[in-house]
């Protein structure tokens, strides 16, 4: 199978370049990650992140034939040859397919991604109705792979100011949680021309999310609450 | 992260080193639930949970540690809920609990719903919740740092670790008053494994090289339901929700092997039954090499609500939609019951001057890398997440109580970084030699063939010889990539140094134990032998030496559960 892969090693290369590979696959190689592991047996200098190999840890996000996705759950039958692999767009490249995700996590951390409830905890669990719990479905499952934020032009232009789809999805995950008591502070934290309102609902995030989540919808809900609170 | 949370919240300076961003650790892949006798669905209590755990362990678990864990279980689950964990809920607002293998009421009588679940993403929800709570507590993370070796001083106390920063290739010494290993298992010593690439037993390798023994490494759990061919985990929660296993005749064969618990018998029991069905020609598919997990009868509503990720995995990795078709599954390596020996405070212990449990000062271990031992010869499903919550918390609290602030820092020995530096020099200095991926693949093949569901003297004897040959190849490994920045080839070579230690411990310990107990099934010694083998194995890297220590059969407050025949 033919591959065309973005290569950049800061110790050797003045500029990034593409390298072509032809990899002999085994019948058991099913996913793109399997092919990359096969490829590394012939060239151990190719660097990429990987861990769970089942789409739940979020390590191996990359740009696959122009679209962000996870290598471990991208079926080789579904990709056109030569498979062009690039690092996630918009973030600084450390090496080959590995990007520096500091900015992405900084934005995630900026929304205070933890439950806030300063009332004394009961002896047992805080009760939550199944309906209230259902509000979290489609929100808590995010794996922080950054496919969405790095597919978003607003995040490309303003990664330091716009929270981005992953961070905003997390923000809404806590706003929507009946146990969280800091909605108003969370909204204050987002009421800003950039942090929330740079989202123009072009839905690139929805298009690429490997977990089929819908950050645009969550962002829309935050905007709705923001408007309601203003009137 | 459960330990670091206690430390950060107590105001201590904590550095959490992780090979991957913290939410990418393998806990993220746990699916089914956390065992705790909340009694939200029907009457339950910790004493029943304790009995199930001891029986599950085939009486190799230490009963003091098991009592402590089961008693603490409700509290740590409630805490996790208070931290924000998105558990599924019952109509009355309490945490939803599902049935699971070996979870029984009234000391083994009837199944009970004890597994606290967040759909089939419990580990993901838990790992993210713990990370989030650590963010709140300002825990300092060193992301993509790999710990290489422990630093022990002349007295044998651990005073820190040598670590490798992947992004820069820098090697640093972290000087610490307390060092906690929470490095997970080493499932990657096997070819067919539910484990992530990162599960290379780094903490075990570090301990072994520092002269600390490894306990009960012959006990490796095969999860009954890994996707055939792919190895990806299908939670026992599928059977908890009502899924059943079928052979090629369409027979629900578990009824023959475990008339009471059926498909929800202990994992070792179900895995052996599947292996036997396949060996006797009743496997499914053209190669008759797997069995089928049927769940379509649960209906789309249950599958979409309680098992959504399972459906995703089945579609992606097995080409079947479980709403309509069964999933092809095989017993697959899943969990390492053994590890670095510890006490209930997480302190690492080793024999010294006649005391089998003498504390190694400054060193702690929790989670899958530790052997406390609550899992004994076979872990009960959902007790892994519970183990790390209970003992992570206990270890953190114990360290806080040491009042480390008032203590001086032990000085670093002059040779603190030497071992790590020489390992790196060996890898970087070799201009030709063995390929790391090839040697690792050979190791996994050998371990899979010689240390499978059923073992015998011949297989294990050959296995020991082959693993020792592979160790020679590991000593000659070389990599092409010599660069500093994010050199994943170098990381994998360093990991192979750890894998080989765990593989040796496993095969040597398994060959010596001439009995069948829990996950160690010897076809040449089919019975459990309490007279000779009711004891923990300790393997030392130095000379491949074995030692043994007694199982603690004395609980903390209740009567002991003496060993008896085990049936489900």
Q: What is the pLDDT of residue B132?
A: 98
Q: What is the mean pLDDT of residues B198-220?
A: 98
* Separation CA A34–CA A30 (nearest Å): 6
Range list of H helices, B137-226 = 202-209
- For residue range A127-172, what is the model confidence (pLDDT) as tens digits? 999 999 999 999 999 999 999 999 999 999 999 999 999 999 999 9
pLDDT class of B250 with cuts at 50, 70, 90: very high
| Residue ranges in chain A whose pLDDT is less than 70 | none
Q: Which residues of B touch A133 (CB under 8 A)?
A: 86-89
Q: What is the pLDDT of residue B471?
A: 98
B379 flagged as catalytic? no
3-state secondary structure of A204: helix
Mutate which: A54, A62, A118, A132, vs B, most B CBs within 10 A: A54
Q: What is the pLDDT of residue B408?
A: 87
The backbone torsions φ and ψ at residue B222, rounded to the nearest 5 degrees and listed phi first, read: -90, 125
pLDDT class of B407 with cuts at 50, 70, 90: confident
Q: What ipTM describes this predicted complex?
A: 0.98
Strand pairing class (B158-165; B340-341): unpaired
Asked whether residue B560 carries a pLDDT value surpassing 90, the answer given is: yes
Q: How far is A231 from chain B (nearest CA, A)?
A: 31
Considering CB atoms only, which of A73, A113, A124 is closest to B132?
A: A113
Q: Which of B2, B267, B410, B490 is catalytic?
A: B267
Query: Are B32 and B115 a contacting pair, CB within 8 Å?
Result: yes
Q: What is the pTM of this model?
A: 0.97
Chain B 144-203, CB below 8 Å of chain A: which residues? 167, 196-198
Which 3-state string (H, E, C) describes A52-88? CCCCCCCCCEEEECCEEEEHHHCEHHHCCCCEEEECC
Q: What is the mean pLDDT of residues B492-500?
A: 98
Asked whether residue B184 carries a pLDDT value surpassing 90, the answer given is: yes
% of chain B beyond a pLDDT of 90: 98
Radius of gyration of chain B (CA): 22
Query: Are A62 and A79 a contacting pair, CB within 8 Å?
Result: no
3-state secondary structure of B498: helix
% of chain B beyond a pLDDT of 70: 100
Chain B 67-96, CB below 8 Å of chain A: which residues? 74, 77-78, 81-84, 86-95
B300-B92-B39 Cα angle (round to 5): 90
Q: What is the mean pLDDT of residues B461-483?
A: 97
Q: Which residue has the tokens 């393997």?
A: B539
- For residue range B11-46, what is the model confidence (pLDDT) as tens digits? 999 999 999 999 999 999 999 999 999 999 999 999
Average pLDDT for chain B: 97
Strand pairing class (B454-455; B521-522): parallel
Q: What is the pLDDT of residue A231?
A: 83
Would you state the structure tokens that stand for residue B32, as one six-digit string?
A: 């089914």
Asked if A128 and B89 come within 8 Å (Cβ–Cβ), the reply is yes
Neighbours of B136 (CB within 10 A): 18
Neighbours of B249 (CB within 10 A): 9
Give the residue among B210, B263, B227, B253 at the shortest CA–CA distance from B102.
B263
Q: What is the mean pLDDT of residues B466-471?
A: 98
Q: What is the pLDDT of residue B405?
A: 87
Sequence-distant (6+) residues with CB within 8 A of B193 are: B187, B199, B226, B231, B332, B333, B334
- For residue range B336-364, what is the model confidence (pLDDT) as tens digits? 999 999 999 999 999 999 999 999 999 99
Q: What is the pLDDT of residue A230?
A: 87
Chain B 459-498, CB below 8 Å of chain A: which residues? 479-481, 483-489, 492
Which 3-state string (H, E, C) describes B85-154? CCCCECCCCCECEEEEEEEEECCCCEEEEEEECCCCCHHHHHHHHHHHHHHHCCCEEEECEEEEEEEECC
- For residue range B359-387, what is the model confidence (pLDDT) as tens digits? 999 999 999 999 999 999 999 999 999 99
């Amino acid at each position: 199978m033919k591959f065309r892969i973005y290569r950049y090693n800061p110790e050797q290369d003045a500029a990034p370049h593409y390298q072509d590979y032809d990899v002999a696959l085994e019948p058991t190689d099913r996913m793109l990650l399997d092919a990359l592991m096969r490829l590394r047996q012939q060239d151990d200098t190719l660097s990429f992140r990987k861990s769970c190999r089942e789409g739940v840890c979020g390590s191996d996000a990359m740009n696959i034939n122009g679209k962000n996705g996870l290598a471990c759950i991208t079926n080789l039958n579904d990709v056109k040859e030569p498979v062009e692999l690039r690092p996630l767009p918009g973030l600084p490249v450390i090496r080959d397919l590995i990007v520096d995700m500091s900015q992405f996590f900084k934005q995630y951390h900026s929304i205070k991604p933890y439950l806030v409830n300063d009332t004394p905890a009961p002896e047992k669990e805080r009760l939550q109705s199944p309906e209230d719990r259902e509000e979290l479905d489609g929100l808590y499952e995010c794996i922080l792979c950054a496919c969405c934020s790095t597919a978003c032009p607003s995040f490309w232009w303003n990664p330091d100011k716009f929270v981005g789809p992953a961070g905003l999805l997390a923000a809404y995950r806590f706003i929507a949680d009946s146990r969280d008591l800091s909605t108003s502070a969370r909204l204050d934290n987002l009421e800003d021309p950039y942090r929330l309102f740079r989202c123009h609902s072009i839905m690139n995030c929805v298009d690429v999310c490997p977990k089929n989540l819908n950050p645009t919808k969550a962002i829309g809900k935050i905007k709705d609450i923001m408007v309601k609170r203003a009137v | 992260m459960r330990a670091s949370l206690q430390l950060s919240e107590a105001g201590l300076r904590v550095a959490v080193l992780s090979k991957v961003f913290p939410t990418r650790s393998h806990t993220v892949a746990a699916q089914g639930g956390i065992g705790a006798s909340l009694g939200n669905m029907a009457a339950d209590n910790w004493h029943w949970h304790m009995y199930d755990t001891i029986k599950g362990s085939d009486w190799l678990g230490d009963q003091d540690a098991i009592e402590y864990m089961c008693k603490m279980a409700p509290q740590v689950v409630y805490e996790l809920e208070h931290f924000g964990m998105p558990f599924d809920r019952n109509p009355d607002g309490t945490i939803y609990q599902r049935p699971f293998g070996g979870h029984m009421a009234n000391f083994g009588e009837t199944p009970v719903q004890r597994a606290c679940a967040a759909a089939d993403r419990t580990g993901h929800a838990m790992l993210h919740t713990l990370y989030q709570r650590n963010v709140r507590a300002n825990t300092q993370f060193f992301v993509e740092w790999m710990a290489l070796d422990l630093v022990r001083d002349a007295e044998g106390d651990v005073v820190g670790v040598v670590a490798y920063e992947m992004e820069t290739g820098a090697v640093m010494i972290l000087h610490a008053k307390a060092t906690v290993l929470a490095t997970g298992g080493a499932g990657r010593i096997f070819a067919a494994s539910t484990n992530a690439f990162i599960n290379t037993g780094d903490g075990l390798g570090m301990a072994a090289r520092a002269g600390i023994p490894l306990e009960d490494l012959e006990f490796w759990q095969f999860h009954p339901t890994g996707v055939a061919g792919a190895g990806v985990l299908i939670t026992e929660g599928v059977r908890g929700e009502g899924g059943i296993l079928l052979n090629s005749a369409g027979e629900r064969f578990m009824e023959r092997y475990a008339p009471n618990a059926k498909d929800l018998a202990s994992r070792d029991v179900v895995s052996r039954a599947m292996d036997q069905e396949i060996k006797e020609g009743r496997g499914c598919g053209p190669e008759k090499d797997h069995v089928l997990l049927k769940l379509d009868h649960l209906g789309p509503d249950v599958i979409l609500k309680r098992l959504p990720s399972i459906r995703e995995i089945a579609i992606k990795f097995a080409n079947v939609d479980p709403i309509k078709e069964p999933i092809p599954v095989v017993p697959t390596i899943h969990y390492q019951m053994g590890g670095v020996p510890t006490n209930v405070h997480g302190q690492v212990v080793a024999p010294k001057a006649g005391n089998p449990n003498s504390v190694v000062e400054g060193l702690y271990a929790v989670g899958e890398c530790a052997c406390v031992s609550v899992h004994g010869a076979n872990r009960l499903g959902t007790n892994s997440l519970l183990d790390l919550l209970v003992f992570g918390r206990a270890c953190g609290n114990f360290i806080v109580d040491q009042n480390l602030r008032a203590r001086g820092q032990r000085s670093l020995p002059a040779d603190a970084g030497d071992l790590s530096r020489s390992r790196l020099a060996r890898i970087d200095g070799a201009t030709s030699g063995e390929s790391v991926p090839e040697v690792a693949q050979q190791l996994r093949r050998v371990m899979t063939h010689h240390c499978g569901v059923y073992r015998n003297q011949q297989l294990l004897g050959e296995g020991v010889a082959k693993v020792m040959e592979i160790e020679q190849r590991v000593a000659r490994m070389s990599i092409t990539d010599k660069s500093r920045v994010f050199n994943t080839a170098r990381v994998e070579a360093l990991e192979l140094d750890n894998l080989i230690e765990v593989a040796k411990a496993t095969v040597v310990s398994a060959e010596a134990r001439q009995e069948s107990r829990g996950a160690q099934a010897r076809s040449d010694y089919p019975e459990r032998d309490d007279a000779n083998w009711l004891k923990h194995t300790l393997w030392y890297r130095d000379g491949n030496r074995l030692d043994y220590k007694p199982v603690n059969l004395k609980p903390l407050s209740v009567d002991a559960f003496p060993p008896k025949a085990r049936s489900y």
